[in-house]
A and B are shown apart, each in its own frame.
Chain A
């Protein structure tokens, strides 16, 4: 048997609903229709009250989730696309993320953000929103890169007593498969060494992990051993694992699919440069998407986001420096 990244997300939600009557899912088209990506397919049949279609009202969806959390429930909000969470931005960053700070009442909500680009999706169905939400105090931001993590981290997200922005990557939904779901997992807030090496470290997350691993594979024939760190959770950031890797390699490339201005890769570089400047043998490097909206045409899209080939070029430059 094999299971996809998308099926892992569905299975995690199914288990969360089965394990705790306080869990419910709220989102557009998630009931009978099973969701735009079928992440909730079949769940309404088993949980007719706790899998609820919402109006197209991202602000009110998140506000209602906060209200339900005050009453002790653990809602999962499905945004149809991460891009549309901008409409619910106020409730996420000002209501959900400040609730505990202001009132000492925890806010255990999970907002699922189908993120990232796929060919032909264009400017408004491709965005990576993780940096925006990580910027605000009071949030936890996760970005699983594997089928196993999609499952175990989503279960962790639902169990955490704080608002979790769960950035699941649409490109991985169908492409990524595993043999089975994990029985045990690394804690959600720990980074993972996805590939061991000694000449340079690539720090990345989500779909870019797979571009980084392909690039590392390509460089092996030239004798370069590239270490790849999968951050998994972006906030809190497991900087210790990153610094441990940089201590071994002396070189770091921070890689992300999001827009280049600020963001997760900038945060990683900033932490490495301030905490471990003495470990560096070369200036730290960054690779992100271009600073334009995400293009529709696949030929443009492939040149907008980093790919294994552009990652390989960036690593070669980093090693030469």
Chain B
């Protein structure tokens, strides 16, 4: 177990307080995604559902230490916990899954593709590794404008994305520009069905940092305290001007790639190993063991998350779907261009 308070370069982490706050977001994320998965199984969600079960501690630990309106946070497919911790209202998530016209994408994209770019939350595209350079550009722009201050830009990828050229280009660029970038690599052992052994051949993904001239650390992704401390150090170093940081979290995806996938390719031994531990149950046990909350206290957190989720999903489900007849069918923001082209078709 990690120490309860750790001084890191440029950042102080109040572990008991951060642990409890992160736990709340983890509970909310798990509750929301279980609800969404059941709505999906009932046939009421079109398209895919991708959940972050087993990755909530790693996801929340990063985002909880960022400040909305100050930092950039570019979440990926399994970051419901991080999104919530960074201030995304549950109703936004519910609307995107349920296809409400009031959602941030207004039905133009679904599930995890939501965002609020002008609030520092870019909306991910599906091409893996493609968001890192976007965060680079956001940080570079702020530096050119003189507004960067001690802000950092954080983004998340998985073990699979580390094989893409986009990740290499973006990490190298961030290092050349010495940007305050933090890249969280959730090594959940499988990229869809492909195991680490067919994905990369280095002993530890964090070792790749050396090749870019940046810092890399590894944390136990099932252990909330270790995740919090790992990110506290990385974010602190980035804020202090020490350049890009990689934090690798070793964990296991406790779900399929999507809810359509039964993950039969995951060996039982791996599920039974320490990496297969459920970060949420582990965090809950520690909260009780430390005396930060008792069973009833944890139950209250879980009950309040359930109520919030039920209400948001019900509300989003009752809202209007987008209307193809009144929809603005133009991909350009320059209205006169769009109209011109429409006429020609």
Contacts and interface: CB of A to CB of B under 8 A. Distances in A.
Interface of A: 21-22, 24, 49-50, 54-55, 57-73, 75, 90-91, 94-95, 97-103, 105-107, 137-138, 140, 160-162, 189, 235-240, 271, 275
10 contacts: A54-B173, A55-B172, A57-B169, A61-B133, A67-B141, A71-B142, A90-B130, A94-B125, A97-B331, A103-B105
B52 interface: no
B344 A71 contact: no
B89 interface: no
A67 B331 contact: no
Given A68-B141, A94-B130, A189 B337 contact: yes
A91 B144 CA distance: 22
Q: How large is the interface on B (under 10, 10 to 19, 20 to 34, 35 or more residues)?
A: 35 or more
Contacts of A58: 169
Interface in B161-203: 165-166, 169-170, 172-173, 176
B166 A160 contact: no
Given A59-B166, A70-B137, A235-B341, 5 more contacts: A61-B173, A64-B140, A65-B137, A95-B127, A103-B123
B169 A55 contact: yes
B136 interface: yes
Contacts of B334: 140, 160-162
A303 to B, nearest CB: 35
Contacts of B172: 55, 57, 60
Contacts of A90: 127, 130, 166
A55 B176 contact: yes
Given A64-B173, A94-B127, A97-B331, A237 B134 contact: no
B216 interface: no
A64 B333 contact: no
B136 A236 contact: no
A63 B130 contact: yes
A69 B137 CA distance: 8
A237 B133 contact: no
B169 to A, nearest CB: 4
Interface string B81-104: 000000000000000000000001
Given A59-B169, A64-B134, A67-B134, A100 B337 contact: no
Given A67-B134, A68-B141, A103 B173 contact: no
A68 B333 contact: no
Interface stretch (B1-9, B113-121, B263-271, B309-317): B113-121
B332 A98 contact: no
A95 B138 CA distance: 14
Nearest to B339: A236
Interface of B: 104-105, 108-109, 113, 115-118, 122-123, 125, 127, 130-142, 144-145, 165-166, 169-170, 172-173, 176, 331-334, 337, 340-341, 344
Contact of A73 (B105, B117, B135, B141): B141
Contacts of B142: 71
A66 B137 contact: yes
Given A63-B166, A95-B125, A103-B123, A68 B104 contact: no
Contact of B331 (A55, A57, A138): A138
Contact of A63 (B123, B133, B344): B133
Contacts of A60: 132-133, 136, 166, 169-170, 172-173
B161 to A, nearest CB: 13
Contacts of B135: 67
A63 B134 contact: yes
A64 to B, nearest CB: 3
Contact of A140 (B109, B127, B144, B337): B337
A189 B133 CA distance: 31
A167 B130 CA distance: 24
Given A70-B122, A236-B340, A98 B138 contact: no
B301 to A, nearest CB: 32
A16 to B, nearest CB: 15
Nearest to A54: B173
Contacts of A106: 333
A55 B137 CA distance: 14
A31 to B, nearest CB: 13
Contacts of B165: 59
Most B CB contacts (10 A, CB to CB) among A72, A95, A271 go to A95
A97 B330 CA distance: 12
Contact of B136 (A49, A50, A63): A63
Contacts of B109: 102
Contacts of B144: 24, 49-50, 68, 73
Most A CB contacts (10 A, CB to CB) among B115, B125, B170, B332 go to B332
